[in-house]
Amino acid sequence: RALFSLARMRPVLLLLLLLLLLCVAFCGVSAQRGVFGDERGWRADPEIAMNTTQIVHFQGYPVEEHRVQTPDGFTLTLTRITGTRTGPFNPRKGVAFLQHGLLDSSATWVMNSPEESFAYNLADAGYEVWLGNNRGSTYSPCDKWDFSFDEIGLIDLPTMINYGLQVSGERTLGMYSGDSEGT
């Protein structure tokens, strides 16, 4: 029996082919966004090392970072977009709250250009935008992982929304959007 038979190597070869395709796809997308620097003029994307608040500021929007503590002791980070790139909201339409999905963060709403990112589109349309982060996410890390999706939905989301409304002086949300388990 051969040590390296084609039948035995097929799963490994398929995996290598998949990895090669992913690398090619990633390099192509990264090159379009300017992630790699080389002699062809590509340059590093400065947003790579930024958190959500820094990305929003970099794009020219007035922004604040807030922290709120849940009743069971977790600290959650929120990002608030308080105007447009050209000034205050005119007219102001109320508060929009955006919640990321599973294994994600608030950065998901601002990763594209201002013309292509939902958070910026809402701010430009007149909404004060709040971006939430669940416990255990990149911007709301935790020391203890003694929680489930129940706490994220029953505790985190109401805590963040109520805090945003209180700070904004509003009684109700003008708009809510969630992705994945954020819905």
Q: Which of 87, 106, 99, 103 is nearest to 156 (CA)?
A: 99
Q: How confident is the model at residue 40 (pLDDT cuts 50, 70, 90)?
A: low
Q: Which pLDDT score, from 0 to 100, does residue 43 have?
A: 64
Report whether pLDDT(107) > 70: yes
pLDDT above 70 (res 182): no
Pick from 124, 143, 144, 140: nearest CA to 132: 140
Least reliable range by pLDDT among 20-24, 34-38, 120-124: 34-38
Helix (H) / strand (E) containing 15: helix 6-33
Is the predicted pLDDT of residue 183 greater than 60, yes or no?
no
CA atoms of 52 and 13, how far apart (whole Å)? 39
> What confidence score (pLDDT) does residue 109 get?
96
pLDDT, the chain, mean: 84
